[in-house]
């Protein structure tokens, strides 16, 4: 008589082992795709797992020193399309490589980032991908000491031994500013992002570098903080206009702020690009459908998430990863928000 089925919620590795008439260790080897089990026994165990619709308890497996098959992703926000595309890249690649995603958001809050970094451990995830604003060396040390493999996205750690996937933000910002200069613009305003964000600082440096190359004087009155959001980009542009400083172009450090800037300019009766040209950064989906379609710097957002997972899974599998810092390139996307003067 076939063994009586056990309810899925109570099913354990021991139950699978008893039904298959093998040891618990053998079942564990099959669940974790380890060698040392014959094809016949491996097939038998997999059939039993499928028949009983067994779902492993990831936490229990993690505590037992086995793989949880979960990857953790720490990210500032999920509503912004930039981060949404990062998540897509991480999730699709994780699933393709046999891992599930455990996502936690920090809302770009320093205290929350610290809590999340401390929260993740080997019983929850096999590895961790981190995007954060306020990371300090002590929290990097906590991750290192925990033994959990981890990879940073868009954060350049001081320690050259730490794995990271970056975009050449400075080069992209330099290209955006130089593009506006090539159209005849000399007075170019800059909308910066979060004060603590590394990529915002790098984009500002690229903007200043382009001005210096063409011997244009940097005017601090043409810089306003838009904190990477449409609303703040709108308000920052209003502040620029209230100063009565002359400018014919705006370089916004992301597309969200550029979209907010277009709205503010239109409210003041100014036309884009006839009166003011605008370049954004990121190439999010909305940049191609607003009016006018936004000229922007495209960064490989999806690819960043994909690359981070590929590196992390190799680290989880204890494979050698020689290149610790992956630097991805940006490219200019010309649309209709800029005009030659």
Q: How far apart are CA 329 and CA 282, in angstroms?
A: 12
The domain tally of the chain equals 3
Q: Is the same domain home to 102 and 222?
A: no
Q: Is the same domain home to 229 and 263?
A: yes
Q: Is the same domain home to 192 and 272?
A: yes
Cβ-count burial of 109 within 10 angstroms (0-12 exposed, 13-18 middle, 19+ buried)? middle
The string of pLDDT tens digits covering residues 286-315 is: 999 999 999 999 999 999 999 999 999 999
Task: Please compute the mean of the pLDDT values over residues 43-60 and round it to a whole number.
Answer: 76
CATH number reported for the structural domain that contains residue 42 in this entry: 1.10.260.40
Q: Is the same domain home to 181 and 295?
A: yes
For 48, the domain range is: 8-56
Is there a domain that residue 63 lies in?
no
Q: Strands of 127-130's sheet, edge to edge?
A: 100-105, 70-75, 127-130, 150-153, 163-167, 325-328
pTM for the whole structure = 0.76
Q: Is the same domain home to 195 and 175?
A: yes
Q: Output the pLDDT for position 173.
A: 98
pLDDT at 267 over 80: yes
3-state secondary structure at position 62:
helix
Q: How does DSSP assign 86-111, residue by residue?
A: HHHHHHHHHHHTT-EEEEEE-TT-HH
Q: How far apart are CA 149 and CA 162, in angstroms?
A: 10
**To the nearest 10°, the Cα dihedral for 240, 245, 246, 252?**
-30
CATH number reported for the structural domain that contains residue 174 in this entry: 3.40.50.2300
Residues 6+ away with beta carbon under 8 Å from 215:
none
Q: Is the same domain home to 294 and 180?
A: yes
At which residue do the structure tokens 């172009």 appear?
Answer: 249
pLDDT at 3 over 80: no
Work out the pLDDT band at 112, boundaries 50, 70, 90: confident
Q: Is the same domain home to 262 and 319?
A: no
Considering only residues 301 and 68, tell me which one the structure prediction assigns the higher pLDDT: 301
Q: What percentage of the chain carries pLDDT values higher than 90?
A: 63
Q: Is the same domain home to 294 and 173?
A: yes
First to last CA, the chain: 87
Q: Is the same domain home to 181 and 278?
A: yes
Considering only residues 243 and 160, tell me which one the structure prediction assigns the higher pLDDT: 243
Is there a domain that residue 336 lies in?
no
The string of pLDDT tens digits covering residues 166-213 is: 999 999 999 999 999 999 999 999 999 998 888 999 999 999 999 999
pLDDT at 59 over 60: no
Identify the sign of the CA torsion 124, 126, 128, 129: negative
Task: Please compute the mean of the pLDDT values over residues 142-151 and round it to a whole number.
Answer: 86
Is there a domain that residue 131 lies in?
yes
Is there a domain that residue 339 lies in?
no
């Amino acid at each position: 008589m076939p063994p009586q089925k056990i309810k899925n919620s109570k099913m354990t590795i021991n139950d699978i082992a008893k039904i298959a008439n093998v040891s618990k260790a053998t079942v564990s080897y099959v669940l974790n795709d380890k060698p040392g089990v014959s094809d016949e026994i491996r097939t038998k165990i997999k059939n039993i797992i499928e028949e009983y619709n067994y779902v492993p308890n990831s936490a229990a497996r993690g505590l037992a020193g086995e793989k949880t098959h979960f990857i953790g992703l720490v990210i500032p926000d999920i509503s912004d399309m930039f981060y949404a595309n990062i998540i897509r890249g991480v999730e699709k690649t994780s699933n393709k490589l046999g891992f599930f995603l455990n996502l936690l958001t920090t809302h770009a809050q320093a205290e929350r980032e610290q809590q999340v970094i401390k929260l993740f451990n080997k019983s929850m995830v096999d590895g961790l991908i981190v995007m954060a604003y306020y990371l300090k060396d002590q929290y990097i040390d906590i991750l290192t000491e925990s033994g959990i493999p981890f990879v940073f996205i868009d954060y350049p750690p001081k320690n050259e031994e730490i794995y990271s996937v970056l975009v050449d933000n400075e080069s992209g910002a330099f290209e955006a500013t130089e593009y506006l200069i090539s159209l005849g613009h000399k007075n170019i305003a800059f909308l910066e992002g979060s004060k603590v964000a590394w990529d915002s600082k790098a984009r500002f440096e690229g903007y200043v570098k382009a001005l210096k190359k063409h011997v244009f004087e940097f005017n601090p009155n043409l810089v306003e903080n838009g904190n990477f959001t449409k609303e703040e980009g709108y308000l920052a542009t209003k502040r620029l206009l209230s100063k009565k400083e002359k400018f014919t172009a705006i370089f916004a450090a992301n597309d969200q702020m550029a979209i907010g800037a277009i709205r503010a300019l239109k409210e003041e009766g100014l036309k884009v690009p006839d009166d003011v040209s605008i370049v954004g950064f990121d190439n999010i989906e909305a940049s191609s459908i607003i009016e006018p379609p936004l000229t922007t710097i495209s960064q490989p957002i999806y690819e960043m998430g994909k690359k981070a997972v590929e590196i992390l899974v190799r680290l989880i599998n204890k494979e050698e990863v020689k290149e610790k810092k992956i630097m991805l390139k940006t490219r200019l996307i010309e649309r209709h928000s800029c005009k030659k003067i």
